[in-house]
Chains A and B, each alone.
Chain A
Amino acid sequence: MVNSWNPVRGGWAHELSGPTDPATDSGWTEHEARRGFFTDTSICIGCKACEVACKEWNRNPRDGDLELTGWSYDNTQGLGASTWRHVAFIEQDAARVEQARESGRRLVDLGMPRIGAPTADAPVDRTPPDTAEFRWLMASDVCKHCTHAGCLDVCPTGALFRTEFGSVVVQPDVCNGCGTCVAGCPFGVIERRSDGTAAPTTREGERKGEQPKVPRRGVAQKCTLCYDRLVDGQTPACAKTCPTTSIKFGEHAELVAAARDRVRELHEQGMPEARLYGANELDGVGGTGSVFLLLDEPEVYGLPPDPRVPTADLQVMFRRAGFAAAGMVAAAVVAFVGGGR
């Protein structure tokens, strides 16, 4: 490694991109096994118990004015400062389902990383609710707890930190609400509470259109992987409450193995559209702590198709800025030396 930042760990480029152990990179000499979620959307029933449990446990205030969106059953709309689990609902007709299967088959044909030989599509066992004409996709989204977390990298105060579980947590008493993390997240997860760009109502009260008093106003907020529960040996609230085990919590390595098994199982059941999201440590964020099993392309669920942590290019950016600054000095020298009186 040319750039020897920390001689003990031998360079620091791996701290910006590529496969690595995030807790060790963050200076934890002894730490817990990396924890995370495996959200298997194929068995999500859209009950939103995860959303409720998360709000209750973390005492998160209401988002916005409780409007009805007309987006199937999704009135939550997305993750934000006060919504750390969000259940997406997508209604698809037969043509869309076939398109999703085709894209799944294409992934297999690409010879993308997988365990075991590709299996031919077995006869379709269409158990309800997966009917031939229509299907309803439901998926509980959450902070990805990236191996290389853009929010954490760009935070200027140290308010965001890497826990011993490999998760990424905001310290609300340190954050000064600069908002850089909001721009740094490739998944649009973290947000500044209350007076961000999409400001919710400021009317306080308990009725519709009003909002109870908002705690932690003006600081960045997102899923903590229930850090307060983890240090007590507890399961995060969403995973604890999920009635179908669509949200699984556990050691990251075991979850990824289980997720791979599940994809193979679904492929064998004639669902070639099943795929994993975030299970590849070679991807743009070094793999995610929260792994998802999806039944269509990521953008169908509102997930970016090829996210890349911005700090992966930080060395290029600082180098270019250095050249630019040097150019500015050179221009000033020309102006004073070559410019005459």
Chain B
Amino acid sequence: MVPEVEFTSYYGRAIVKPPPWGDLIASYLFLGGVAGGSGLLAFGAQLTGRKLLCRNARLGAIAAVSIGGAALVADLGRPDRFYNMLRTIKPTSPMSIGSWILTAYSGGMGVAAVSEIDRLTRNRLPLGPFRGLLSFAEPVGGAVAAAFGPPLAAYTAVLLSDTANPTWNAAHRDLPFVFVSSASLAASGLAMVTTPTRETRPARVLAVIGVAGDLIGTRWMERRMDPVAAEPLHQGRPGTLLRWSERLAAAGGFGALLLGGHRLPAALAGIALLGASACTRFGILEAGINSAKDPRYTIEPQRRRLEERRAAGITDDSITTVG
């Protein structure tokens, strides 16, 4: 029998601090996902000879990763020192690992995208002697981007969860599954917007799998979280965003499944999917920020787990001791 958790605080003041992350970081979470998923789609298209899908996914990916990377740098307290992240590799820092994943991905996708742009502009890029090299480097770049795409989509979940933030940390087991699903459906959505239906069938299949993963994954994640730590996911603006994420994902998923063969409905479904992913990212980010602003979300889950351990006879691992 675990006693009821009683809640006291220091004048209602928050215990943990929210990180100074806002819309720029949420945008990066979204765009990084779009890029990660597009890396896979572009590589699949590259291997199966879907030239338009390949081109559009690559161009979408490089745009997403460029804007996202710029957002990341702009959000720093000292943007002029962004390169300090690339002066070390720290396995304990998801941000460090992520910087390297992002760098490797951007390198690969950059090469692939430059090839596409060169082809589009009929060899007008000033590449000089490197044009010859590019024909060899292009497929390799596409492969590198595909290899680092899924890690790019997944690491941001670890970045959020590897914190003392009550909501993000409580989601640490399942948030990666939500994020890769969201990335898959968003990248597929972008492909459905940009590419004629004759080449987007794989994207539509990936979209449906992504929607299923997103809807099931989010529910499963919330069920396994501490009920109090999960509350901010349902309240205020994050609550609204996450409800819309669910609706848009479902609508986009059905659209892709049933009407994906028609150009206009497919594009509309694609927009819905992109919107769903954006809502997920902004919602999860804001829910975590909110959870850090109220001491209840820190104290109640911690009290509960402490009391549960004590009730189970584990009394040697508390930070509070009597001697």
Report which A residues bind B (CB closer than 8 A): 5, 15-16, 69, 71, 74, 77-78, 80, 88, 90, 104, 107-108, 110-116, 150, 153-159, 174-180, 182-188, 190-193, 195-197, 217-220, 260, 263-264, 267, 274-280, 282-285, 288, 294, 297-308, 310-311, 313-314, 316-318, 320-329, 331-332, 334-336, 338-341
Interface centre among A90, A306, A308, A326 (most CB of B within 10 A): A306
- Please encode chain B, from 1 to 38, with 1 for each CB lying within 8 Å of some chain A CB and 0 for all others: 00000001111011111111110000000000000110
Q: Is the CB of B10 within 8 A of A299?
A: yes
A192–B292 Cα distance when bound, in Å, is 15
Known A-B contacts A283-B318, A321-B155, A324-B177; A185 and B161 likewise in contact (beta carbons under 8 Å): no
Q: Is the CB of A183 within 8 A of B322?
A: no
Q: Is the CB of B94 within 8 A of A305?
A: no
A127–B30 Cα distance when bound, in Å, is 61
Known A-B contacts A110-B310, A334-B209; A176 and B81 likewise in contact (beta carbons under 8 Å): yes
Within 8 A of A (CB), among B158-182: 158-159, 161-165, 168-169, 172-174, 176-177, 179-180
Known A-B contacts A158-B87, A323-B176; A191 and B17 likewise in contact (beta carbons under 8 Å): yes
B264 within 8 A of A: no
- Please encode chain B, from 182 to 215, with 1 for each CB lying within 8 Å of some chain A CB and 0 for all others: 0110000000000000100111111001100100
Q: Is the CB of A320 within 8 A of B173?
A: yes
In the complex, the 3 A-B pairs of residues with the closest C-beta atoms, listed nearest first: A177-B77, A218-B77, A114-B323
B143 within 8 A of A: no
Q: Is the CB of B176 within 8 A of A150?
A: no
Chain B residues, Cβ within 8 Å of A175: 77-78, 81, 84
Known A-B contacts A299-B9, A325-B180; A157 and B84 likewise in contact (beta carbons under 8 Å): yes
Given contacts A158-B84, A264-B323, A316-B173, 20 further A-B contacts (CB under 8 A): A113-B315, A153-B92, A153-B93, A154-B162, A156-B88, A156-B98, A175-B77, A183-B17, A183-B18, A195-B20, A195-B77, A197-B289, A302-B10, A304-B298, A314-B158, A328-B37, A328-B149, A328-B180, A331-B213, A332-B206
A310–B159 Cα distance when bound, in Å, is 11
Q: Is the CB of B16 within 8 A of A310?
A: no
Q: List 6 A-B contacts (CB under 8 A).
A: A178-B77, A180-B93, A306-B303, A307-B319, A328-B37, A332-B44
Report which B residues bind A (CB closer than 8 A): 8-11, 13-22, 36-37, 40-41, 44, 47-48, 75-79, 81-82, 84-85, 87-88, 90-96, 98-99, 149-151, 153-155, 157-159, 161-165, 168-169, 172-174, 176-177, 179-180, 183-184, 198, 201-206, 209-210, 213, 289, 292, 295, 298-299, 302-303, 305-306, 310, 315-323
Give the contacting residue for A280; candidates B11, B163, B317; CB below 8 A: B317
Chain A residues, Cβ within 8 Å of B21: 179, 183
Q: Is the CB of A310 within 8 A of B201?
A: no
Q: Is the CB of A112 within 8 A of B316?
A: yes
Give the contacting residue for A300; candidates B8, B158, B180; CB below 8 A: B8
